[in-house]
Amino acid sequence: MMWAASLGAHALFAWRMSDGLGTGQAKADAGAGIDVTIIGMEWPVTRILPITVASCAVVAAMIVVSFRLRIRWTGTLTVCVAVACIGSMTAIASDTIAWHDPASAQARQSSSYHEVMATVTTPVIASDQRTYDCQTDIRLSGITVDGTGVRSTVAVRVYADESYCGQLRRGAVHLLTGVLQQARYGRIPLWLLLEGKQPVAQVRAPPCHLAAIEHVQEAFFTVTEQLSDQGRVLVPGLTMGVLGQDYIGGETGPMPVTSTYAQTLENQFRQSGIMHLMAVSGGHFV
């Protein structure tokens, strides 16, 4: 119930914002240098607060009716409605914060170079775009707008050329400069494109536990590279969720698995239902 309500709230929010509500004004405010993070809060206050009050009133009324009439199913329905309200309100609040984030406002205004401070949150893997060599996800902590540092907390997907791939480490805080734009697809709302000779500076090293995990994973991939092509593709995918051909290593090893063979093998396993079994048992392909 909560999952369905959350998905519905995400879809409703995306439809309302794409329908023009706040889009033009947010662009105008961002272009004029107005703090969109403050002005944008008018939307959730005027829209979410009445919905929240009405939902709470309905739940309270249902509870009163269920106790007075001693109807069993009403209590169950009340719990379901309350859970749905919590899920939808949480989803809308999360989407609202991300929508009015300074980085999101700048990306909606135009695709341009920005300097950001961010923490790498996922392993660096092969890019799903042919024009870039690798990709990873980051969580912003700040962005420079018109020479001024502004706090930002939105999630961003990074696409980078080969020269950057070995510099990005999971858990580390980096100072990155690239083209910030709205995502063309995927669940991550923004993209940061690292290309050319823009510098990448590591501000803080990864925590000890993340560094240890990364070391163990690199050692595991080193061992699996000695397997056959099939083993090199599937064993890491089954155990860690990263297929062998998607791993970006820092050291030179055996010849990589060809993309055609790897894609064919992945499709065969997906058609056989093994992808589903892996998801149920805990492992999956990313």
Residue pLDDT, tens place only, 90-131: 888 888 888 889 999 899 888 889 999 999 998 888 888 888
Residue pLDDT, tens place only, 1-53: 677 777 777 777 777 776 554 444 444 344 434 344 433 444 444 555 566 66
Residue with tokens 């341009």: 112
In angstroms, what CA-CA distances link 251 with 7, 59, 147, 221, 248? 42, 59, 38, 11, 9
CA distance 186 to 23: 20
Pairing of strands 155-160, 173-182: unpaired
pLDDT, residue 35, reads: 45
Q: What is the mean pLDDT of residues 119-147?
A: 91
Cβ-based neighbours of 34, under 8 Å, separated by 6 or more = none
pTM equals 0.69
User: Please, what is the average pLDDT of the chain?
Assistant: 75
CA distance 163 to 93: 38
In eight-state DSSP terms, residue 244 is G
In the three-class reduction of DSSP (H, G, I as helix; E, B as strand; rest coil), residue 218 is classed as helix
Whether the Cβ atoms of residue 143 and residue 150 lie closer than 8 Å to each other: yes
In angstroms, what CA-CA distances link 104 with 45, 133, 191? 19, 25, 10
pLDDT, residue 76, reads: 73
Q: Does pLDDT of 276 surpass 80?
A: no
